[in-house]
Amino acid sequence: MQDDWLRYSCQMALPGFEASSQALLQNARVLIVGAGGLGCPAAQYLAASGVGTLGIADFDEVSVSNLHRQILYNPADVGRLKAEVACARLQQQNPGIKLVPHMAKITSTNVIQVIDSYDIILDGADNFETRYLLNDAAVLAGKPVVYGAIYQYEGQVAVWNLPNADGSRSPNYRDLYPQVNATQVPNCSVGGVIPTLAGIIGCMQANEVIKCITQTGELLKGKVLLFDAQTMQSRVIKIGDVTQTNIKALEITEHIPTVTAVELKEGLNEDTYTLVDVRTDQERDEFDIGGLHIELDEVEDNLQEFEDDKTYVFYCSSGKRSGEAVKLLKQKLPGVKAYSLKGGLQEWNLN
């Protein structure tokens, strides 16, 4: 206990933050979904502050392109599972807390079970499907979500689904964005992101988690903080006090079939697959591996290009846009065989 008192002495010296507040942290259980640009700094500070149980959920592997912003990893970790590496590093940082890796992909089948043993969920997801799934599951389970998002030089932070005194709940993600067409919003691998922004927003998320657990300060409840890293200006937008959504069930997660880079290269030698590049013109001019070129937002307008007797493999830089293309094709042309290149051209170039 003496070591604990010394470790946490600076935060326990804060006005209104005493031994009782530290006890709340040590008894808290926080699930971080996404051990990436947001999850890494958030996890480091939550571990350092003494959150008793930290779950890290991520099924992805470390890649070279992650290293500029995902600060828990180093080059020797490339190819290893993020959740496994993150938990090992955080345990070294604070041996006195419990780290729980969750290395299965979060889906509509397992999300309720995964979040069940946690008090608060920190959303560090890098795709809309997981973000909406977490939001809806948290609403159904009555758990708060600390949300963060980054793109290029801008970030957002909010706290969703907190209880109000009258028994109602504060707004959730769907109050801000009822639906988003993922084909219209590029991810970081396409649009880019300044690495320091990930650290800033991830730390803001950790800050909201600590405030929520210790019941100190004013939470971003019913509000969204917008931050611009270029001007260092922020503003807070008020959404409302009570959610206007009525979430009754989870949307079923679609399975997206994939092929690995090794499998694709073997298949191309045997003329098994037809390639479809869903990246932008600029990206294709820089490098491509052949095939048709139909940008993601144009796939639906070019369904006549796809034939039932062929097997298509969609590709992009990371596998996210190609996954969206496969999902769309399965909906519109269920008879056409289509796969997404797992890990995208990043994996292709490593194999």
Provide CATH 3.40.250.10 ranges for the chain: 258-348
Of 29-43, 168-182, 330-344, the one with minimum mean pLDDT is 168-182
Q: What is the pLDDT of residue 186?
A: 56
pTM comes to: 0.83
Q: What is the pLDDT of residue 251?
A: 85
Q: What is the pLDDT of residue 5?
A: 78
pLDDT digits (tens, 9 = 90+) for 121-149: 999 998 888 999 999 999 999 999 999 99
Distance CA 181, CA 208 (A): 28
DSSP assignment string, 96-126? TSEEEEE-SPP-TTTHHHHHTT-SEEEE--S
Of 34-48, 55-69, 83-97, the one with minimum mean pLDDT is 55-69
In the set 40, 87, 212, 316, the catalytic residue is: 316
Residue 172, amino acid: N
DSSP assignment string, 140-169? HHT--EEEEEEEBTEEEEEEE-PBPTTS-B
Provide CATH 3.40.50.720 ranges for the chain: 2-238
Burial of residue 179 (number of CB atoms within 10 Å: 0-12, 13-18, 19+): exposed
Q: Is it the case that residue 187 has pLDDT exceeding 90?
A: no
Residue 104 Cα distances to 43, 61, 116, angstroms: 19, 12, 15
The DSSP output letter for 267 is H
How many angstroms separate the first and last alpha carbons of the chain? 50
CATH of 258-348, one of 3.30.1490.20, 3.90.700.10, 3.40.250.10, 2.120.10.80: 3.40.250.10
pLDDT digits (tens, 9 = 90+) for 234-258: 999 999 999 999 999 998 877 889 9
Q: Which residue in this structure is represented by tokens 């290009």?
A: 305
Confidence of residue 179 (pLDDT cuts 50, 70, 90): confident
pLDDT digits (tens, 9 = 90+) for 261-313: 999 998 888 788 999 999 989 889 999 999 999 999 899 999 999 999 999 99
In the set 40, 87, 188, 212, the catalytic residue is: 188
The mean per-residue pLDDT over the stretch 58-77 comes to 91
Q: Is it the case that residue 1 has pLDDT exceeding 80?
A: no
List the beta bridge partners of residue 33: 57, 123
Distance CA 10, CA 270 (A): 64
Contact by Cβ (8 Å): 188, 37? yes
The mean per-residue pLDDT over the stretch 186-202 comes to 80
Q: Is 188 a catalytic residue?
A: yes
Confidence of residue 218 (pLDDT cuts 50, 70, 90): very high
**Mean pLDDT for all residues in the chain:** 92
Confidence of residue 185 (pLDDT cuts 50, 70, 90): low
Q: What is the pLDDT of residue 43?
A: 98
Of 73-82, 102-111, 187-196, 242-251, the one with minimum mean pLDDT is 187-196
Q: Is it the case that residue 180 has pLDDT exceeding 80?
A: no
CATH tag, 2-238: 3.40.50.720
Report the percent of the chain where pLDDT is more than 70: 95
